[in-house]
Amino acid sequence: MSAAPAYSEDKGGSAGPGEPEYGHDPASGGIFSSDYKRHDDLKEMLDTNKDSLKLEAMKRIVAMIARGKNASDLFPAVVKNVACKNIEDPNQLIRASALRVLSSIRVPIIVPIMMLAIKEAASDMSPYVRKTAAHAIPKLYSLDSDQKDQLIEVIEKLLADKTTLVAGSVVMAFEEVCPERIDLIHKNYRKLCNLLIDVEEWGQVVIISMLTRYARTQFLSPTQNESLLEENAEKAFYGSEEDEAKGAGSEETAAAAAPARKPYVMDPDHRLLLRNTKPLLQSRSAAVVMAVAQLYFHLAPKAEVGVIAKALVRLLRSHSEVQYVVLQNVATMSIKRRGMFEPYLKSFYIRSTDPTQIKILKLEVLTNLANETNIPTVLREFQTYIRSMDKDFVAATIQAIGRCATNIGRVRDTCLNGLVQLLSNRDELVVAESVVVIKKLLQMQPAQHGEIIKHLAKLTDNIQVPMARASILWLIGEYCEHVPRIAPDVLRKMAKSFTAEEDIVKLQVINLAAKLYLTNSKQTKLLTQYVLSLAKYDQNYDIRDRARFTRQLIVPSEQGGALSRHAKKLFLAPKPAPVLESSFKDRDHFQLGSLSHLLNAKATGYQELPDWPEEAPDPSVRNVEVPEWTKCSNREKRKEKEKPFYSDSEGESGPTESADSDPESESESDSKSSSESGSGESSSESDNEDQDEDEEKGRGSESEQSEEDGKRKTKKKVPERKGEASSSDEGSDSSSSSSESEMTSESEEEQLEPASWSRKTPPSSKSAPATKEISLLDLEDFTPPSVQPVSPPAIVSTSLAADLEGLTLTDSTLVPSLLSPVSGVGRQELLHRVAGEGLAVDYTFSRQPFSGDPHMVSVHIHFSNSSDTPIKGLHVGTPKLPAGISIQEFPEIESLAPGESATAVMGINFCDSTQAANFQLCTQTRQFYVSIQPPVGELMAPVFMSENEFKKEQGKLMGMNEITEKLMLPDTCRSDHIVVQKVTATANLGRVPCGTSDEYRFAGRTLTGGSLVLLTLDARPAGAAQLTVNSEKMVIGTMLVKDVIQALTQ
C-alpha cells in the first residue's frame, strides 16, 4: 500500500466508489503493486471457464463496491472478463451479472463500454439479461446525463418488450430518465395494461403510477358529464331500466339521451386500464394496493371509485407505518368522496394502544366522515376519547368536536354544551383547548350564548394557559354588549395582573380595553388609560406599538384625528366566523400516494399530475401494427399459420429462453399461465392471450371493417340507415347497450368469458356474406356513437374459435362445421300489416347476448310502415306477463315515416319456459296486442366446453334428466355440415369437439336458470341415429328433443 500512495486505500476508503475517481486511468500499470496480490484470487476466478466461479467472483466484487471498498484495481480484470467475455457468455445469468457489475462501476471512462454493453444486452435473448439492461440505464444516466438520447432509444426498445420480467424495470428506467416522453408509452400502453397483473409487485407500483399520469393526458375526464346528468334527469325517460343497469351505465345513458351535447364515452383503453388494475386491489403488498387506489381515485368515474375503500380499510390492519401513510391518503379522499368510506366508519375508531400520530389521523378521518346521520355515534366516540390519557390526542379531539359543530348545524348546541362542560375539567390543557374551540364556535352565533361568555369570564381567575386566556378576553371584548356588567370587571382584574401576563394575553387586554372604552367609556376610561400606560413601558415592542396605536385611535386628540371618528368601526367591525377546515383539504392536487402528498410539499422529482385534457388526443396512437398474417381473410390459411404458434407456446414449458425471443409469442406470462393451468381451465386461461391478439386484429382490421361497412350499407337496403344522425333508433340502440356501462370495450369484455364468446359464435344466417351483415348489424348496436374502432365480433369469434381449435384438437375437419353459420328461427310475424293498419312488425331471435341482462333473450323487432302516414311514438305498453317473465322494453321510436323501417332490440326473460310474452305495442293512436312465444331452442345460450368436461357434466345428468330418442336421418341429412347446421338452427347451442366422427355434441345453458343442456347425436351407419338430451330441466329437454328430431327428419 505504501508503494502506491497515488492510488491507495486512503482515498478509496474515504471517498468510496460513489465519487468517481477522476484523472486516473486505472488500467495504467504499476500502481496496483501491493493491492494487486490481494485480489489475485478474484482475478483468477474471473479468468476461469467455470460459470459458478465467475459468478461468485463477480458477486463478491459487487459486494465490495457496495460496502464502499475500493474495487477499482479490479477494474481491468472485470472489464476484460466481463465486458469482453462474459457479456457474450452462453449462460444468461453470467451475462446479467457481468452487466450488473459493469454498470455498478461508477467510473466515467467506461461510459462508452457501458453504453455498448447496455445496447447489446437490450437485445439479448434472455429476458433476465434485458431486465438487467433496464436496471443499468439509470446508473449510466446518473453517471453521464449526456447519454440521454441514446438511452431513450434503448428504453424505447425495451418498452416494446413483451415479458413481465422486463416491464417493471424498464418503466422504472423510463421514470428516471425521461418521464416527460409520454409518447413512448402509446404503442405499449395496451401491452403494459395486459401484462400488469403478472409483473412483480415493485414493478406494478411503478407502472401503475406512470399509467395514472399517462391516462390523465390521454383520456377525457369521466366525471365531466356528471353535472350534465343532473340537468337531464327528466329527459331520461326510461329511468326504470337504469335502475336495473349498473350504476355507471346510467351516466352514459343519460349522455346518450341528450345527443345535442357531445356524449361522454369512456375510451376503451381507459376502461382497459381500470379493469386490469382492479384485481390488484387484492395484492398482499400495501404499496400496490395504494397505487391502484390512487389510480381509481384519479381516473375512475365517481360510481366506481368506491371499490377501493374496502382494500384501503384492510391496509389499516398492517404495520403502523403503513397505517400512517394510508390514513393520510384516506383523509384526503374522505374530504372529496365522503360516501366512499362511510360504511367503514367503525374501522376508524381509535384504540388506546394506537400511536398518537395514528390516533390523530383517525380522528381526522372520523371528522371528515361525520354527517347528519352518524354524528350521534361519532360524538359518543369522541366523548370517550376526551377521557384518554394521551393529552395531545384529547386536544385534537376537542378540535375535532369543534369542526363537527361547525359543519353540522344540528349538533352545534350539543357540542357547545359538551365543550362548556369540559371547561370544568381538571386538566388545564383540555380546558384551554376547549376555550379556543368555544371561541370559534361562539363567533358564529354570539347572541344566544351570553351565558357561556359569562361562564368563560369566570374562568379567567383559574385558567393559566395564555392562549385560552387570550381567547376569553377577545370574546368578552368582541361581545361586550352581551355582558355589559361583567366586561369592565374583567378588565379591572386583568389590569391588575397585566404585568405578569404573557405577551399574547397583554395584547388582548389592550384590545379589550379599547373596545370597552369605545362602548362604555364612562366606566372604563380610567382603566383603559391605566392599561395603555402600562403597555407603553412594556418590554415587548409589539405591545408598546399596539398601545401607542390604540391610544391614537381611541382617545380623541386635539388634532381631531380623522381615524378616531371611525375607531368604533375599526375595532367593532363584524368579523366573519372562522371556518374550521381539515388540513387535508387541498392536498388532492398532489398525486395521492406520493411522497409529495404525504409531506404536502413538492418533493424533488415529483411529476405533476396533469389535468384532464379538454379534447381527447387521438386514440389511434395506441394502435399497434398488426402482424401480416392477421389480414389474410382465409380462415384455413390463418389457422395453419397459427398452429405452429400455439404448439410453440405449448411446447415450451417453464423458463426457456426461446419463449421471449420468439417474436410472435405474446408474453411470457401468457405462456406461463397456459402451461401451468390445469387441464380444465386451459380455455379460460388462454383467452387472455386470445384477447390480446384479437384486439390487435380488431384494430388492425379497421380498414377492412370500414370497407365492409360500406358494403353493408349498400347491401342492406334498409332505409333505417338514414337515421344515422338523428333517429332515435340509433340513439336508443346505443343507449340500451350502454346500460351495461362498459359498452365501449364490449368486445374485449365478451372474450373474457368463454361462455359469452361462444354465444357469439353462431350468428344467424346462411351464407357467409349474410353472416357478415348480421354481425355488423350487431356491431352497430355495440359501437358507441363516437370514434373507436371495435373489432367486428364475427371475425373475432371465427378466428378465436380457430385458435381454440388449434389448442384443443387436431381434427381439422371440424372447423367448418363448428363455424358454419347458423340461423335461429327466421323472421316471424308479430303484427300483420293489415291488422296493424299499415304497421308491420316482425321479430327474430338474434342470439346475441342481451347487453342489459344476461338472462334475457334478445329479440330483434323489425318495424316497417306501409301506410301513408308517419307512425309516431312506437313503444311497449303495459305488458301483462305470466309470473317470472319480464321484458326489457325497447326505447321508444319517435317516428316512423311512410315506407321506412326500423329495428329495435328488446330483451325478454322467459324464465326458462315457453310461455308466451304478451304485451301491447302502442303507437300514439293505437294499441296492438301481440305475443312472442319462443321456440325452446332460443331459451339457451351456447357454452364452450371440452370433451372431457362434457362427459363429466353428462355423467351428472343421468336418469330422470336424460331423454333419449331414436330417429332415422333422411339421406339429405347425413353430412356433418348439414346435421350441425340443423341442430344449431333449432337450438342455440355450441358445438363441443368430439373425437369420433359420427357423434355430435352440443352444449348450452338456459338463459335464466343457467342449467346445462347437453345434446348428443349419435349417428349410426345407414341413417339410424340416437338423440340424447341431458338437462336438469326436463320439460326443456323433452321439447328440445322433439324440436331437433323434427328439424332433422324433415
Site for another protein in 550-609 (CB under 8 A): 593-596, 598-599, 601, 603-607
Question: Is residue 758 at the binding interface for another protein, with CB under 8 A as the rule?
Answer: no
Query: CA 509 to CA 14: how far, in whole Å?
Result: 61
Task: Classify the phi-psi angles of 68: left when phi > 0, otherwise alpha if psi is within -120 to 50, otherwise beta.
Answer: left
Residues in 55-114 at the binding interface with another protein, rule: CB under 8 A? 55-56, 59-60, 62-63, 66-68, 91-94, 100, 103-104, 106
- Here the cell at position 468 is 385560552
Q: Sheet of 857-865: strands edge to edge?
A: 828-831, 839-849, 857-865, 901-909, 886-888
Stretch near another protein under the rule CB under 8 A, chosen from 16-24, 153-161, 775-783, 817-825: 16-24
Radius of gyration of the chain from Cα atoms?
39
Q: Which is nearer to another protein, 349 or 530 (CB)?
A: 349
Residue whose C-alpha cell reads 368582541 in the numeric block = 478
Stretch near another protein under the rule CB under 8 A, chosen from 395-403, 471-479, 668-676, 725-733: 668-676
Query: CA 283 to CA 242: how far, in whole Å?
Result: 33
CA distances (Å), 8 to each of 17, 382, 901, in order? 13, 66, 93
Q: Identify each DSSP E strand in 811-869 by its residue range.
A: 828-831, 839-849, 857-865
Question: Is residue 16 at the binding interface for another protein, with CB under 8 A as the rule?
Answer: yes
* AA letter at 829: E
Query: CA 659 to CA 124: how far, in whole Å?
Result: 13
Task: Classify the phi-psi angles of 884: left when phi > 0, otherwise alpha if psi is within -120 to 50, otherwise beta.
Answer: left
Residue whose C-alpha cell reads 379534447 in the numeric block = 615
Query: CA 788 to CA 620: how far, in whole Å?
Result: 8
Question: Between 321 and 360, how does the x/- string for binding to another protein read (CB under 8 A)?
Answer: xx-xxx----------------x--xx-x-xxx-xxx---
Residue 691: partners with Cβ closer than 8 Å, 6 or more residues away:
194, 748, 751, 752
Query: CA 265 to CA 963: how far, in whole Å?
Result: 49
Q: Which is nearer to another protein, 708 or 749 (CB)?
A: 749
Shortest spacing between CB 595 and another protein, in angstroms: 5
Give the total of residues touching another protein (CB under 8 A): 106
Q: Which is nearer to another protein, 295 or 509 (CB)?
A: 295
Query: CA 913 to CA 1017: how far, in whole Å?
Result: 24
Binder among 28, 48, 52, 145 for another protein (CB under 8 A): 52
Question: Between 400 and 429, how does the x/- string for binding to another protein read (CB under 8 A)?
Answer: -------------------------xxx--
Question: Is residue 881 at the binding interface for another protein, with CB under 8 A as the rule?
Answer: no
Shortest spacing between CB 1013 and another protein, in angstroms: 20
Q: Which is nearer to another protein, 127 or 1037 (CB)?
A: 127
Shortest spacing between CB 117 and another protein, in angstroms: 15
Residue whose C-alpha cell reads 355515534 in the numeric block = 377
Q: Which is nearer to another protein, 804 or 1019 (CB)?
A: 804
Shortest spacing between CB 1010 and another protein, in angstroms: 13
Per the CB < 8 A criterion, the answer to whether 914 and 939 are in contact is yes
- Give which of 718, 720, 730, 836 is closest to 783, Cα–Cα: 730
Helix (H, G, I), strand (E, B) or coil at 861: strand
Shortest spacing between CB 646 and another protein, in angstroms: 18
Stretch near another protein under the rule CB under 8 A, chosen from 674-682, 849-857, 921-929, 1027-1035: 674-682
Q: Which is nearer to another protein, 51 or 704 (CB)?
A: 51
Q: Which is nearer to another protein, 326 or 802 (CB)?
A: 326
Q: Which is nearer to another protein, 325 or 904 (CB)?
A: 325
Question: Is residue 37 at the binding interface for another protein, with CB under 8 A as the rule?
Answer: no
Question: Is residue 462 at the binding interface for another protein, with CB under 8 A as the rule?
Answer: no
Question: Between 149 and 188, how does the x/- string for binding to another protein read (CB under 8 A)?
Answer: ----------------x---x--x----------------
Residues in 840-859 at the binding interface with another protein, rule: CB under 8 A? none
Q: Residue 918 pairs with which residues in a beta bridge?
A: 931
Residues in 679-738 at the binding interface with another protein, rule: CB under 8 A? 681, 684-685
Shortest spacing between CB 281 and another protein, in angstroms: 8
Q: Which is nearer to another protein, 51 or 998 (CB)?
A: 51
Helix (H, G, I), strand (E, B) or coil at 975: coil
Q: Which is nearer to another protein, 373 or 604 (CB)?
A: 604
Q: Which is nearer to another protein, 66 or 526 (CB)?
A: 66
Question: Is residue 946 at the binding interface for another protein, with CB under 8 A as the rule?
Answer: no
Binder among 319, 485, 575, 717 for another protein (CB under 8 A): 319
Binder among 29, 576, 663, 678 for another protein (CB under 8 A): 678
Residue 890: partners with Cβ closer than 8 Å, 6 or more residues away:
732, 736, 861, 875, 876, 904, 905, 906
What residue spans of 196-267 are helical by DSSP H?
A: 201-218, 226-231, 239-244, 247-257
Shortest spacing between CB 530 and another protein, in angstroms: 37
Stretch near another protein under the rule CB under 8 A, chosen from 28-36, 111-119, 318-326, 713-721: 318-326
Q: Which is nearer to another protein, 387 or 565 (CB)?
A: 387
Burial 831-842 (b: 16+ CB within 10 A, else e): beeeebeebbbb
Per the CB < 8 A criterion, the answer to whether 668 and 660 are in contact is yes
Shortest spacing between CB 289 and another protein, in angstroms: 8
Q: Which is nearer to another protein, 139 or 191 (CB)?
A: 139
Query: CA 853 to CA 1007: how far, in whole Å?
Result: 10
According to DSSP, residue 863 is labeled E
Per the CB < 8 A criterion, the answer to whether 623 and 190 are in contact is no
Q: How many Cα atoms occupy the beta-carbon half-sphere of 932 within 13 Å?
A: 30
Q: Which is nearer to another protein, 135 or 191 (CB)?
A: 135
Binder among 105, 255, 311, 840 for another protein (CB under 8 A): 311
Question: Is residue 389 at the binding interface for another protein, with CB under 8 A as the rule?
Answer: yes
Shortest spacing between CB 752 and another protein, in angstroms: 9
Stretch near another protein under the rule CB under 8 A, chosen from 114-122, 307-315, 735-743, 828-836: 307-315
Residues in 196-235 at the binding interface with another protein, rule: CB under 8 A? 197, 200-202, 205, 209
Residues in 120-149 at the binding interface with another protein, rule: CB under 8 A? 126-128, 132, 135-136, 138-139, 142
Query: CA 49 to CA 89: how far, in whole Å?
Result: 10
What residue spans of 479-502 are helical by DSSP H?
A: 486-497
Shortest spacing between CB 377 and another protein, in angstroms: 9
Binder among 33, 145, 282, 1046 for another protein (CB under 8 A): 282
Question: Is residue 285 at the binding interface for another protein, with CB under 8 A as the rule?
Answer: yes
From first CA to last CA, the distance across the chain in angstroms is: 103
Shortest spacing between CB 698 and another protein, in angstroms: 22
- Give which of 453, 538, 527 is closest to 491, Cα–Cα: 527
According to DSSP, residue 456 is labeled H
